[in-house]
Amino acid sequence: MEYSNQRKELKVSAIENGTVIDHIPANSVFRATRILRLDKMENQVLVGTYLDSKKYGKKGIIKVSNTFFKDDEINKIALVAPSATLIVIRDFKVVEKKQVEIPKKIEKIVKCVNPNCITNHENIPTKFDVMKNENGIYLTCLYCDKNTSKENMVFL
């Protein structure tokens, strides 16, 4: 068997039209896919995690063909991937590139950690204000005022 010193790479085909979400922390890729409900999509979805990155060490990437997210949809992943970059592709060309932004409010994607909260006992969707302090992002439930740190968020 002959070994080569050439670098080996796996190339993934470019998408003609769709969205690429790049610079996702490697350990947050699958949470981002759940937040965006990509498991319910019937379009081609490519997920890469723990990929080498000069800037981040390791990163994740998501490519979704023929899908274009609204700002309020894509910004939800800022809870788990504040460094993520959204790239819109049309006819194999980058037409838009921007950072995700942390939303001011979120609904129906995180469970309230207060066992007594009405959202845990009745068919009421969760709603939170997204707050930021010196320790990072946290959520405040609009029903019971319970604060939830990023580390304790349970995604629905």
Q: Is the Cβ–Cβ distance between 67 and 34 less than 8 Å?
A: no
What range defines the domain where residue 148 resides? 105-155
Structural domain includes residue 52 = yes
What tokens were used for 20? 């690429």
Structural domain includes residue 3 = no
Q: How far apart are CA 25 and CA 27, in angstroms?
A: 6
Q: What is the mean pLDDT of the chain?
A: 88
Q: What is the mean pLDDT of residues 130-145?
A: 92
Q: End of a domain among 99, 121, 142?
A: 99
| Domains identified in the chain, total number | 2
Structural domain includes residue 83 = yes
| pLDDT-derived band at 3, boundaries 50, 70, 90 | very low
Structural domain includes residue 59 = yes
Its pTM surpasses 0.85: no
Indicate left, alpha or beta for 151 from its phi (over 0: left) and psi (-120 to 50: alpha). alpha
| pLDDT value of position 109 | 87
Condensed to tens digits (0 to 9), the pLDDT of residues 25-44 reads: 999 999 899 889 898 989 99
CA geometry: angle 89, 94, 96, nearest 5 deg: 90
Nearest to 72 by CA among 106, 39, 37, 33: 106
Condensed to tens digits (0 to 9), the pLDDT of residues 63-107 reads: 999 999 988 788 888 888 888 999 999 999 999 999 998 889 999
* pLDDT of 12 above 90: no
| Same-domain pairing of 69 and 95 | yes
